[in-house]
């Protein structure tokens, strides 16, 4: 390589690869993505504060307080709402040069780190399961979420569906397990299963047409039950049990439906071939 070639190579590397001026301009969609990140950060702060406060008052003994979990869930629901609308706002108005990157980074905080930290708070202070096992389950949620987002950014399926469980649904399913069950080896296995679904090759269909209306209605009812429990915890645990059960059932039912559908397609293809 000559000196000229080296100088040319260095110049190419130093040249900006995108619209630098526009990269510093935040759009309305970016504000929603940042709001999502802030909600995830505040949810972690609420859970950490609950642990610190009780450990100071109770002299080293900690029992998770449902009210703090409720506050954290409200913040994550607000973050999920921001995540739902930032894409719509970007398509309707204007997307900045760093919109997609901001969205993914915000999702890591709200739907990767926050639910992983919630798993630690939920199961890390009990003698029912080893602390190491809790850390493994929590880390699997975070790692699977990061891998899921990275793969989503660079891999597109031929069908246009999601490859693997979308990270917001994965986070809400982990939260549902935390709210519905006590820490145990079986519940930790369930959390590991959710993490596996996020990085699996199972295609989760993008809701379209009537299916979109059904799925949206299902999610709205689920969120309504969660919100009711968060806003009025004195009303009992029935709303949260119903909402959490519906969330887990939805996540489990979709891959089963896809597998049955593909099996029917293979049978139909064999019947036509013969």
pLDDT digits (tens, 9 = 90+) for 127-144: 889 999 999 999 999 999
Residue 8 in tokens? 């040319």
Q: Return phi, psi of residue 18, to 5°.
A: -150, 180
Q: Return phi, psi of residue 48, to 5°.
A: -65, -40
Within 8 A by CB and 6+ apart from 140, the residues are: 191, 192, 195
pLDDT digits (tens, 9 = 90+) for 63-91: 777 778 878 888 888 888 888 777 667 67
pLDDT digits (tens, 9 = 90+) for 216-242: 666 677 667 766 766 676 656 676 677
Please tell me the pTM assigned to this model.
0.77
pLDDT at 6: 47
What residues of the chain score a pLDDT lower than 50? Answer: 3-4, 6-16, 18, 20
């Amino acid at each position: 390589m000559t000196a000229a070639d080296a100088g040319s190579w260095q110049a190419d590397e130093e040249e900006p690869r995108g619209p630098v001026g526009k990269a510093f301009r935040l759009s309305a969609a970016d504000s929603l993505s940042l709001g999502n990140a802030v909600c995830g950060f505040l949810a972690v702060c609420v859970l950490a504060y609950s642990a610190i406060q009780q450990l100071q008052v109770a002299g080293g003994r900690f029992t998770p307080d449902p009210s703090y979990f409720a506050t954290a869930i409200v913040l994550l629901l607000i973050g999920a709402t921001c995540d739902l609308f930032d894409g719509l706002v970007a398509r309707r108005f204007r997307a900045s040069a760093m919109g997609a990157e901001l969205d993914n980074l915000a999702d890591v905080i709200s739907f990767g780190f926050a639910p992983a930290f919630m798993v630690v708070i939920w199961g890390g202070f009990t003698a029912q399961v080893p602390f190491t096992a809790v850390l493994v389950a929590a880390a699997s949620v975070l790692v699977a979420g990061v891998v899921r987002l990275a793969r989503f950014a660079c891999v597109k399926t031929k069908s246009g569906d999601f490859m693997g469980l979308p990270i917001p649904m994965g986070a809400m399913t982990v939260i549902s397990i935390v709210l519905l069950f006590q820490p145990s080896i079986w519940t930790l296995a369930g959390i590991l299963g959710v993490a596996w679904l996020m990085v699996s090759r199972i295609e989760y269909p993008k809701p379209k047409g009537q299916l979109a209306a059904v799925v949206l209605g299902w999610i709205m009812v689920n969120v309504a039950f969660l919100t009711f429990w968060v806003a009025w915890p004195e009303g009992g645990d029935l709303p949260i049990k119903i909402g959490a059960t519906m969330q887990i059932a939805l996540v489990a039912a979709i891959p089963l439906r896809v597998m049955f559908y593909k099996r029917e397609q293979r049978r139909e293809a064999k019947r036509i071939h013969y």
